[in-house]
């Protein structure tokens, strides 16, 4: 390891070695420069302090699966590339990650290289200026060449001395143009080498960078909605296009705010810009697409970038009344389907068919479609050990107006009250160091309560988690009286004979494709998708207020609680036999 550290310090590139928990073990001097704006960056810190957690965490998990041969990729090819956002959303980083094995180590380490995509922006702007200067300098020579050639053509009877003079002009200007054309070709070749390579990028990272840029430069607000998706793109060029189109929409239609959502359809990721009002005329859109991008070299346009991605742009009415959208269909990434299922649960899940709480008096009369929800999920030791239940992580995302506000998230690792065995941590993809440095449950509660506000809490099979949250709030000297909706119980309202209580099973029954994933945040997104569809189905049954939903769920829970669990009885009888 000491030898590797010496080698890294001599490298000119930004290289980081980390473990499977993204803890930095070693880094090159260039990496310190790339992350110069983050004082915490040093051996022992987490890469999640400098890079967007979700996309990097998924990539480390995917490369681990490559290295273990779980995805059909040979261990020697356990490498992938992505573009991720810096943790503060200020820039995009091109990252390549490969797994490296170490003697006597159970898990691989990861070699990560980083390059600031803004480097391409700066250098392309400089090259664009040089190209413009070269092209302008060729105008004079071309003019002289054309004039001399036309004179020779129009006056075949010209005296030999005069003809020789014009031929000298043709030769001199042709030589000059040839030299400048060679310089032009060299610049263009350099530009091609500088283009950001196509790589996997999360829609959330692109939208977050766009949102910060527009917030800082145009005082505009971008609200990210929906579930983040992976796409494959030239992230730098695509971000420039999104910036240009967003400013166009803000000017023409929306004033100071737009929404952005990623949708999956027909092996494409649709990036939608949404605003209140009418669609934009296609001729107006086409005109913007053919304008050169600000700062882009060689007059590259939005249309050029979209053609690189085999894409186009159009405007149409949104599915929500009174709204319209601008849609960009982009190539999706196979990563959407490469992620394997979570580890098989070794402990039979316990489902809580217990009554819900309606919350403060008067809230029950509020219509469900007027409420703000916070969907939460936890990571605990219960399913991994079959013993005591320690909550080790909490995540939440806001839902409102019929959409998932994926830009409003809460994620926190929590310090346990007792030591957690290493074999349990390996199943949960958490590190002992990260847990020991995390806040206690009581310290976590204040920022969580601030995030929740007066929203309705929503979880899946969440009764026990909710009791833990309320107990923790009381231990921290406060309270958590927010009402709770449980998607498991709401699904029972729709079908009381249900036997599959998983999010995936409920999703299949109600026509929503979900994947509860590996992390609490992925569980939040899946629960939120199921919630939105269940609210639509409840409304069709006349259940439109919070009080009606809680009452219907409580009735379904009461009937289910009174029923014997036949599957459990059969399993028990089989063991006794």
**Rounded CA gap, 345 and 321, in Å?**
43
Strand order, beta sheet including 221-225 = 221-225, 257-265, 268-276, 323-331, 314-317
Phi, psi of 502 (to 5 degrees): -75, 155
Q: Tell me the average confidence (pLDDT) per consecutive run of 10 residues in the chain, 577 residues long.
A: 53 83 88 85 89 87 76 57 86 88 76 80 55 70 83 86 86 82 62 62 92 87 93 89 94 87 88 94 95 72 91 93 94 75 45 53 85 93 57 94 93 85 67 81 94 94 88 91 92 87 91 82 94 96 93 85 56 45
Question: 3-state class of 318 per DSSP?
Answer: coil
**Rounded CA gap, 450 and 448, in Å?**
5
| pLDDT number for residue 134 | 66
With the C-alpha atoms ordered 443, 446, 452, 456, is the resulting torsion angle positive or negative?
A: positive
Beta strands in 122-244 (DSSP E): 199-202, 221-225, 230-233
- For 1, residues 6+ apart whose C-beta sits below 8 A from its C-beta are 25, 26
Question: 3-state class of 260 per DSSP?
Answer: strand
**Rounded CA gap, 366 and 222, in Å?**
28
DSSP state letter for 251: I
**Rounded CA gap, 226 and 406, in Å?**
6
- For 471, residues 6+ apart whose C-beta sits below 8 A from its C-beta are none
| pLDDT number for residue 194 | 42
**Rounded CA gap, 562 and 148, in Å?**
101
Fold type of domain 120-194: Helix Hairpins (1.10.287)
- Side-chain half-sphere of 234: how many Cα atoms within 13 Å? 20
- For 353, residues 6+ apart whose C-beta sits below 8 A from its C-beta are 489, 492, 557, 558, 560, 561
Residue 466 CA to its chain's centroid (Å) = 28
**Rounded CA gap, 201 and 82, in Å?**
6
563 token code pair:
């029923």
| pLDDT number for residue 298 | 58
342 token code pair:
């979570």
Q: How far is CA 362 from each of CA 192, 280, 483, 546, 547, rounded to the nearest angstrom?
A: 64, 43, 12, 10, 9
Residue 375's closest CA among 276, 263, 459? 459
DSSP state letter for 414: -
> Can you give the residue ranges of every domain in the chain?
2-117, 120-194, 200-338, 363-576
Pick the CATH number of 2-117 from 3.30.450.20, 3.30.499.10, 2.40.50.140, 3.30.420.40: 3.30.450.20
User: What is the per-residue DSSP string for 82-127?
Assistant: EEEEBTTSS-EEEEEEEEE--TT-SS-EEEEEEEETHHHHHHHHHH
Strands 456-459, 372-380: pairing kind: parallel
Fold type of domain 200-338: Heat Shock Protein 90 (3.30.565)
Bridge partners (DSSP) listed for residue 15: 113
**Rounded CA gap, 352 and 363, in Å?**
24
Q: How far is CA 174 from each of CA 151, 165, 187, 343, 374, rounded to the nearest angstrom?
A: 16, 14, 20, 70, 70
| CATH architecture of residue range(s) 363-576 | 2-Layer Sandwich (3.30)
Phi, psi of 264 (to 5 degrees): -105, 130
Q: How far is CA 380 from each of CA 439, 488, 525, rounded to the nearest angstrom?
A: 16, 19, 18
- For 10, residues 6+ apart whose C-beta sits below 8 A from its C-beta are 28
**Rounded CA gap, 220 and 213, in Å?**
9
Prediction pTM value: 0.76
Beta strands in 214-347 (DSSP E): 221-225, 230-233, 257-265, 268-276, 314-317, 323-331
19 and 107 Cβ atoms separated by less than 8 Å: yes
**Rounded CA gap, 294 and 298, in Å?**
11
């Amino acid at each position: 390891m000491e030898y590797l550290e010496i080698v890294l310090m001599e490298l000119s590139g930004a290289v980081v070695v980390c473990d499977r928990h993204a803890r930095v073990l070693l880094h090159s001097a260039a990496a310190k420069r790339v992350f110069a704006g983050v004082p915490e960056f040093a051996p022992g810190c987490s890469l999640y302090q400098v890079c967007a957690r979700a996309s990097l965490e998924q990539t480390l998990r995917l490369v681990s699966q490559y290295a273990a041969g779980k995805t059909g990729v040979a261990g020697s090819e356990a490498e992938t590339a992505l573009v991720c956002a810096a943790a503060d959303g200020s820039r995009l980083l091109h990252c390549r990650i490969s797994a490296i094995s170490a003697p006597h180590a159970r898990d691989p380490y990861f070699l990560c290289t980083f390059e600031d995509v803004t480097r391409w922006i700066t250098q392309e702007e400089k090259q664009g200026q040089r190209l413009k200067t070269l092209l302008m300098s060729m105008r004079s020579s071309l003019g002289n060449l054309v004039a001399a050639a036309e004179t020779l053509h129009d006056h075949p009877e010209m005296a030999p001395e005069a003809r020789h003079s014009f031929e000298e002009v043709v030769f001199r200007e042709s030589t000059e143009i040839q030299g400048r054309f060679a310089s032009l070709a060299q610049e263009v070749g350099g530009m091609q080498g500088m283009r950001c390579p196509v790589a996997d990028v999360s829609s959330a990272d692109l939208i977050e960078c766009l949102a910060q840029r527009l917030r800082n430069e145009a005082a505009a607000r971008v609200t990210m909605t929906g579930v983040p998706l992976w796409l494959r793109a030239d992230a730098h060029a695509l971000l420039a296009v999104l910036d240009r189109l967003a400013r166009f929409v803000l000017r023409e239609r929306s004033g100071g705010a737009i929404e952005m959502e990623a949708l999956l359809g027909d092996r494409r990721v649709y990036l939608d810009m949404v605003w209140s009002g009418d669609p934009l005329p296609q001729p107006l859109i086409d005109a913007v697409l053919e304008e050169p991008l600000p700062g882009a070299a060689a007059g590259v346009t939005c249309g050029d970038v979209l053609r690189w991605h085999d894409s186009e742009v159009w405007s149409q009415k949104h599915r929500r009344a009174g709204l319209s959208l601008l849609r960009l269909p982009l190539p999706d990434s196979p990563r959407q389907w490469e992620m394997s299922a979570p580890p098989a649960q070794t402990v039979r899940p316990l489902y809580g068919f217990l009554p819900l709480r309606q919350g403060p008096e008067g809230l029950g009369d509020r219509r469900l479609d007027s409420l703000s929800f916070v969907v939460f999920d936890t990571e605990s030791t219960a399913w991994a050990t079959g013993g005591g239940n320690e909550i080790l992580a909490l995540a939440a995302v806001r839902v409102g107006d019929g959409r998932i506000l994926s830009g409003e998230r809460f994620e926190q690792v929590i310090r346990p009250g007792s030591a957690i065995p290493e074999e349990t941590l390996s199943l949960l993809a958490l590190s002992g160091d990260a847990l020991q440095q995390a806040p206690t449950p009581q310290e976590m509660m204040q920022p969580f309560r601030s995030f929740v506000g007066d929203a309705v809490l929503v979880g899946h099979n969440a009764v026990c988690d909710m009791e833990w949250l309320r107990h923790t709030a009381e231990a921290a000297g406060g309270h958590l009286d927010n009402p709770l909706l449980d998607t498991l119980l709401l699904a029972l309202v729709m079908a009381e004979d249900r036997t599959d209580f998983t999010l995936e099973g409920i999703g299949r029954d109600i026509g929503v494709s979900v994947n509860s994933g590996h992390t609490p945040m992925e569980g939040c997104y899946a629960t939120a998708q199921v919630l939105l569809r269940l609210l639509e189905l409840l409304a069709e049954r006349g259940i439109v207020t919070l009080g009606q939903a809680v009452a219907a769920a409580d009735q379904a829970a009461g009937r289910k609680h009174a029923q014997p669990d036949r599957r459990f009885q059969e399993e028990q009888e089989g063991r006794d036999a």
